Amino acid sequence: MGMRRNPVNGKMRIDLEGECGNAFWLLAMAQQIALEQGKDGVAIQARMVASDYDDLQKVMLEELGDHVEFAPPPGELCLHEDLAELKDGTVICGGCLRRFEVVKDGDGNDVAMVDKHLAAGPGRRPEEGK
Pairing of the two strands 99-104 and 91-93: antiparallel
Q: What's residue 107's pLDDT?
A: 84
Residues near 38 by Cβ (< 8 Å), separated by ≥ 6?
Answer: none
Q: Which long-range contacts (CB under 8 A, 24 or more apart) does 112-118 make?
A: 113/80, 116/90
Q: What's residue 84's pLDDT?
A: 81
Report the alpha-carbon distance of residue 20 to residue 18 in Å, rounded. Answer: 5
Q: What's residue 45's pLDDT?
A: 96
Count CB-CB contacts under 10 A for residue 63.
Answer: 22
Instruction: Provide the pLDDT confidence category of residue 6 given band limits of 50, 70 and 90.
Output: confident
| Residue 92 and residue 98 in contact, taking contact as beta carbons nearer than 8 Å | yes
pLDDT in tens, 70-81: 875 444 556 666
